[in-house]
Amino acid sequence: MALGKYTRVDGRRSSSWCSTVTVVVFVALCLVGVWMMTSSSVIPVHNGDEAHETKNEVKEQTDIKEEAANEVGNSNTRQFEDNQGDLPEDATKGDINVSSEDNSNLSEKQDEKFEENPVERSSEDSKTEDKSSETEKKDRKTDDEGSNTENESNSESAENNEDSDETSTKDSDSNESENKFESDDNKKSDTDESEKQSDNSDETTDSRIEEKVEDSDNKESDENSSLKNTNDNTKQQSSNEVFPSGAQSELQDESTTETGSWSTQAAESKNEKESQESSKPAGYNWKLCNVSAGPDFIPCLDNWKAIRNLRSTKHYEHRERHCPEEPPTCVVPVPDGYKRSIEWPRSREKIWYHNVPHTKLAQVKGHQNWVKVTGEYLTFPGGGTQFKHGALHYIDFIQETVPDIAWGKRTRVILDVGCGVASFGGFLFERDVLAMSLAPKDEHEAQVQFALERGIPAISAVMGTKRLPFPGKVFDVVHCARCRVPWHIEGGKLLLELNRVLRPGGFFVWSATPIYQKLPEDVEIWNAMKALTKAICWELVSISKDQVNGVGVAVYKKPSSNECYEQRSKNEPPLCLDSDDPNATWNVKLKACIHKAPVSSTERGSKLPAKWPARLTKVPYWLLSSQVGVYGKPAPEDFTSDYEHWKRVVSKSYLNGLGIQWSNIRNVMDMRSIYGGFAAALKDLNVWVMNVVSIDSPDTLPIIYERGLFGIYHDWCESFSTYPRTYDLLHADHLFSSLKKRCNLAAVVAEADRILRPEGKLIVRDSVEIIEELESMLRSLQWKVRMTYSKDKEGLLCVQKSMWRPKEQEKLEYAII
């Protein structure tokens, strides 16, 4: 270009009216200038060729990527959830994504260098260009030292070349930045198969760069470990995965972008500003809840406005649920000094003091080995009021007294009323027993919160004026150790509630002072209980004394037939009307009546379930082929296919594909359970699952109990009866789409934030529209999006809660004492 320039100048000078001598001298000078410029431009020309070669190399590699992307686009579209092989094969591969095994060998060598660590390569390329520029400057400097004034023109030309190189580098960086922010703007675009075919190779590269950056930002040990495991297992995973691996899918934290057009400075600046404000998108201005309960806020149990307006509290009405008219959309603060919870089983013995900073219970119950303060820990010696010398001895003593209880075989699911810190339920895990521990939020400060922080199932509830949120005839055993419940009063209304939830042939284990002490009050209670249990036909199987703990235990058995009821001389308490559904529990008042035992052999409760663990996978005998299941198949087939589906999803995707380190997971909630298939698929892990059946969903909770799992009814338009920061993982399968028409989704998200521990995970499976809306909300809470995936208008979202809390507060007047 320089030669052309000076040729044009020479032409102009030749047309001037100068003398012949002047023309000759000028021509000679021009020739000298041409020679000087030719010698000084050798290196820049060489660099240009080298850059051209690099460009060709990149083009060859991106062509290979484009072929892979085209193959992805041609993959068959199948059912999103239930079918094996419902993913494009590239979604099951590792960070080096190639859509088929046929291309794996071809792309491996070239992608290994360019694609495997695209961020680092970009940096290296930049360094190479800078090095070339430095070499260029040195050559120019040498030429300048040995040349005369004619080199000023050459220097200007070289500076122009340098500026061009710098501009090229800057434009490249700008384009890379543009692609990144275009990805933010276009996330969740749910690209069709035809759109995937039209995406160019730069798009694929940029998408993977964003995936690597997103993954590398997370420095947690659990994610690093899981990503390593994912990469190690990638080659072994086949194309029939139900969902892609967390850091391996084409559809990750953001969807792919459109590239190939140059951005303007205005667009770049605008995108950068939007990116910096991404933590607070428009429409979601989260605030911190300003309430008297502080970090322990439970909206439906801390509604002091409703509690103050109660007419009476003698039936523990003030401990029952009183939800505010509008559920809160603020988030609950985190206690100062909060740390990640200690892993199970060590958490059963100790927890971080700052996670549940309450010492009152240690002062009141420390001598009974409930809980003690030990430095920065709260320790749990494993005792209780009735088993000061340890729960395991007490558990074994009960089975020795009544061998038919058979922990972990015949008895699998129990209810522990007035559980304290739930040491009884915590040690029953060693006997393969699940205990639903229940206690009110009362003067025994944070007892349920202690239990959950330890990794033991528990809910905040009270036996007051309403039925417990469980179906009828589901618990194998009900246990009460000094639970302070007046079973005998008001016609035995509270004991009859236990009779409702206890399965026919089940046991009631009662350990209390009236059994073994002779104080007047104890004698009075014991006589009243003897009369009541006889009236409701409970058989007193055993009365024995534990010599180690110095307590007495009475064990009763519920009848399996109606024979005793029909032979009573007095119909007191009365039998419930046939229209009284024992499974109807949501805000249903207690009744002092007896529900009949089932008569038909095909009715639930007429037989005991199979022994554990066979009952987990066995179709309940009372599910008939004439019944239509939730998914439209005959009920037994529906049950089996649901279990097979969740086994496939968990094994192929959840365990290895979402970047979750399951050793950090203990307390799990399935927010919309159907048959309990998700929980059943996790049976080999050291976790327990609270199966929640929404009140507007088919009532399948009895099936969940029948297979040896447990759960609860709940309305997600209200807050759940648990303390904040009590679950490690929440799972929501098409929950939010079912709630959108009747609930405030922002309030449901705030509730999920309340009950999930910091660094806890939320897995959502729902429609693409819901996934997009939730992702926006959760990003505004500064949750980390671990993975997004969509196919056939269905999506998967995996996110991780952060420690971030807003500074602005919202005062909830109803929650102020």
pLDDT band at 361 (very low <50, low <70, confident <90, very high): confident
Q: Are 490 and 464 in contact (CB under 8 A)?
A: no
pLDDT band at 19 (very low <50, low <70, confident <90, very high): low
Q: Higher confidence at residue 222 or residue 332?
A: 332
C-alpha distance from residue 258 to each of 55, 181, 196, 319 (Å): 20, 11, 11, 56
Q: What pLDDT score was predicted for residue 602?
A: 93
Residues with Cβ within 8 Å of residue 144, at least 6 apart in sequence: 151, 155
* Residues 441, 635: Cα–Cα separation, whole Å: 39
Closest to 110 (Cα-Cα) out of 125, 94, 96, 127: 96
- Kind of pairing, strands 794-800 and 756-767? antiparallel
Whether the bond between 573 and the residue before it is cis, its omega within 30 degrees of 0, is yes
pLDDT band at 272 (very low <50, low <70, confident <90, very high): low
DSSP E strands, 657-792? 667-670, 688-694, 711-714, 727-733, 756-767, 784-791
Question: What does the block give as tokens for 582?
Answer: 């024992």
Q: Say what percent of the chain tops pLDDT 90.
A: 61
Give the best-scoring range by mean pLDDT among 117-121, 211-215, 316-320, 481-485: 316-320
**Domain 614-815 annotated CATH 3.40.1440.60:** no
Residues with Cβ within 8 Å of residue 230, at least 6 apart in sequence: 94, 245, 246, 247, 248, 656, 657, 659
* Residues 408, 687: Cα–Cα separation, whole Å: 16
Q: Are 594 and 499 in contact (CB under 8 A)?
A: yes
Give the CATH superfamily of 383-454+474-567: Vaccinia Virus protein VP39 (3.40.50.150)
Return the percent helix, strand and coil in the chain, to nearest 5: 45, 15, 40
Q: Which of 21-25, 298-302, 433-437, 536-540 comes out lowest in average pLDDT?
A: 21-25
Closest to 316 (Cα-Cα) out of 186, 462, 185: 462
Q: Is the pLDDT score of 278 beyond 70?
A: no
Q: Are 211 and 298 in contact (CB under 8 A)?
A: no
Q: Higher confidence at residue 448 or residue 121?
A: 448
Closest to 541 (Cα-Cα) out of 509, 495, 571, 518: 509
Closest to 682 (Cα-Cα) out of 655, 715, 704: 655
Q: What pLDDT score was predicted for residue 229?
A: 43
Q: Higher confidence at residue 36 or residue 655?
A: 655
Q: Higher confidence at residue 782 or residue 255?
A: 782
Q: What pLDDT score was predicted for residue 451?
A: 96
Share the mean pLDDT of the chain.
78
**pTM for the full predicted model:** 0.70
Q: Are 646 and 677 in contact (CB under 8 A)?
A: yes
Q: Is the pLDDT score of 236 beyond 70?
A: no
Whether the bond between 613 and the residue before it is cis, its omega within 30 degrees of 0, is yes
Q: Higher confidence at residue 44 or residue 573?
A: 573
Q: Order of strands across the sheet with 350-352?
A: 350-352, 377-379, 372-374
Q: Which helix (H) or strand (E) holds 478?
A: strand 475-481
pLDDT band at 362 (very low <50, low <70, confident <90, very high): confident
Q: What pLDDT score was predicted for residue 34?
A: 72
- Kind of pairing, strands 756-767 and 727-733? parallel
Residue with tokens 């009216």: 17
Question: What does the block give as tokens for 776?
Answer: 């926006």
**At residue 66, what are phi and psi to the nearest 5 degrees?**
-65, -40
Residue with tokens 């800078």: 130
Whether the bond between 345 and the residue before it is cis, its omega within 30 degrees of 0, is yes
Q: How is 170-218 classified by DSSP, letter by letter?
A: HHHHHHHHHHHHHHHHTTT----HHHHHH--HHHHHHHHHHHHHHHHH-
Residues with Cβ within 8 Å of residue 725, at least 6 apart in sequence: 295, 334, 338, 355, 754, 755, 756, 757, 758
Q: Which of 44-48, 731-735, 755-759 comes out lowest in average pLDDT?
A: 44-48
Q: Which helix (H) or strand (E) holds 809?
A: strand 809-811
pLDDT in tens, 171-201: 444 444 344 334 444 433 444 444 444 444 3
Q: Are 708 and 616 in contact (CB under 8 A)?
A: yes
Task: Give the HSE-up count for residue 454: Cα atoms under 13 Å, Cβ half-sphere.
Answer: 30
Q: Are 815 and 306 in contact (CB under 8 A)?
A: no
Q: What pLDDT score was predicted for residue 39?
A: 53
* Residues 305, 320: Cα–Cα separation, whole Å: 14
Q: Is the pLDDT score of 395 beyond 60?
A: yes
Q: Are 188 and 788 in contact (CB under 8 A)?
A: yes
Q: Is the pLDDT score of 612 beyond 70?
A: yes
Q: What pLDDT score was predicted for residue 152?
A: 40
Q: What pLDDT score was predicted for residue 304?
A: 97
Q: Are 383 and 361 in contact (CB under 8 A)?
A: no
pLDDT in tens, 519-577: 999 999 999 999 999 999 999 999 999 999 899 999 999 999 999 999 999 999 999 99
Q: Which of 107-121, 282-296, 573-587 comes out lowest in average pLDDT?
A: 107-121
pLDDT in tens, 72-126: 344 433 333 444 334 333 333 333 333 333 444 434 433 433 333 333 333 344 4
* Residues 707, 412: Cα–Cα separation, whole Å: 9
Residues with Cβ within 8 Å of residue 335, at least 6 apart in sequence: 295, 354, 355, 356, 357
What mean pLDDT comes out for the span 241-259? 39
Residue with tokens 């239990």: 451
* Residues 203, 526: Cα–Cα separation, whole Å: 77
pLDDT in tens, 693-712: 999 999 999 999 999 999 99
Q: What pLDDT score was predicted for residue 21?
A: 67
What mean pLDDT comes out for the span 637-657? 96
Amino acid at 12: R
pLDDT band at 30 (very low <50, low <70, confident <90, very high): confident
What mean pLDDT comes out for the span 334-350? 97
pLDDT band at 444 (very low <50, low <70, confident <90, very high): confident
What mean pLDDT comes out for the span 640-654? 97
